[in-house]
Amino acid sequence: MDTITLTALVAMASIVTAGITIAVGCIGPALSEGKSVASALNSLAQQPDASPTITRTLYIGLAMIESTAIYSFVISIILIFANPFWTYIITLK
Amino acid sequence: MNISPDQTVYWKYGFVEINSTILTTWVLMFVLVVASILINRKLTLGLGRTRWQNTLEIIVTTIIKQLKDVGIDEPRKYIGFLGTLFIFVATASICTMIPGYESPTSSLSTTAALALCVFVAVPIYGIGAKGFVGYLKSYIEPTIIMLPFNIIGEFSRTLALAIRLFGNMMSGTMIIGILLTIAPLLFPIFMIVLGLLTGLVQAYIFSILASVYIAAAVRGIGHE
């Protein structure tokens, strides 16, 4: 396989994977964050005086759930901007 | 586009380089240490406290209360480490308001170093509280089948701590950078505000997770 096809293949694979990673990787966290906020609102409606604890636990839970989305984001950013395969391939001229 | 302050190099000699991450970390350390020394010079118990002493007292008592909530019985033994983690990451995030400043936690080096500190601190505090054999026994709780999972869990917790903080901080600066090419005036302001909020929340999360790990190592599971 000549260098040009290889370069094109690496670029295509990186871009497509980056897009799919961030797209699929954000579905799960978004759904679960929605569920957690909904249940927090429910419990706030039932017990408004437990509001500081509920709010704090909600934020901690949201940050933990958010981290999985952040993992996919980090991978896709690495694929676009700090891709080791790309930096190797473009030195092969 | 450089995704990390590691790539802004100010001085280089051989393989030693002073990049933006190191320089910013030194400046932050200097500011925090000097501020603490200056405030601690004139501590009073009376009502005529300076407002800086009040600020420090609020911070310290809040952290002590949080540590007690999380399950650490003697917060004063651990507040040196855990409080420093929180204050360092929180100050690094708040200072993003200063123009031209890039938070050192948006580089994987800093967050990996902080996570490694937690990784090393948990066994040290665990052995200090429960003794060597007692701490090693905690890996066999609840059954010996869990031994490989507990060990893998230690490493993956550390990795998750580092990547979570790095990803949150880096994504904040990157999104601001991307938005600057689209709508230079209004959107970046919202994103900077959001970045401040996530920065503080992530500082809180980092130190709370570190304290939960230390609490689990010091008192063990099922000792509520």
CATH for the A3-89 domain, from 3.40.440.10, 3.40.190.10, 1.10.510.10, 1.20.20.10: 1.20.20.10
Reading the block at residue B18, the tokens are 């002073």
pLDDT along chain A (93 residues), means of 10: 87 95 95 96 94 85 86 88 88 80
* pLDDT tens per residue across span B112-168: 999 999 999 999 999 988 888 888 888 887 788 888 888 898 898 899 999 999 988
* pLDDT tens per residue across span B25-43: 999 999 999 999 988 888 8
Q: What angle do CA A89, A92, B1 make, to 5 degrees?
A: 45
At position A33, the amino acid (one-letter code) is: E
From the number of C-beta atoms within 10 Å of its C-beta (0-12, 13-18, 19+), residue A70 rates as buried
Residues of A in contact with B1 (CB under 8 A): 81
How close B63 comes to chain A (CA, Å)? Answer: 14
| Record: contact B208-A60, CB cut-off 8 A | yes
**What are the CA-CA distances from residue A31 to residues A17, A26, A57, A60, B220 (Å)?**
22, 9, 18, 16, 33
Domain ranges in chain B are 5-219
| Record: contact A74-B208, CB cut-off 8 A | no
Domain ranges in chain A are 3-89
Residues of B in contact with A60 (CB under 8 A): 204-205, 208
| Record: contact B1-A82, CB cut-off 8 A | no
Tell whether B127 is within 8 A of chain A (Cβ).
no
Total CB pairs under 8 A between chain A and B: 37
Reading the block at residue A49, the tokens are 């005086």
| Record: contact B1-A81, CB cut-off 8 A | yes
Find where tokens 């900077």 sit: B192
What is the complex's ipTM, to 2 decimals?
Answer: 0.71
Tell whether B3 is within 8 A of chain A (Cβ).
yes
| CA B197 – CA B183 distance, rounded (Å) | 21
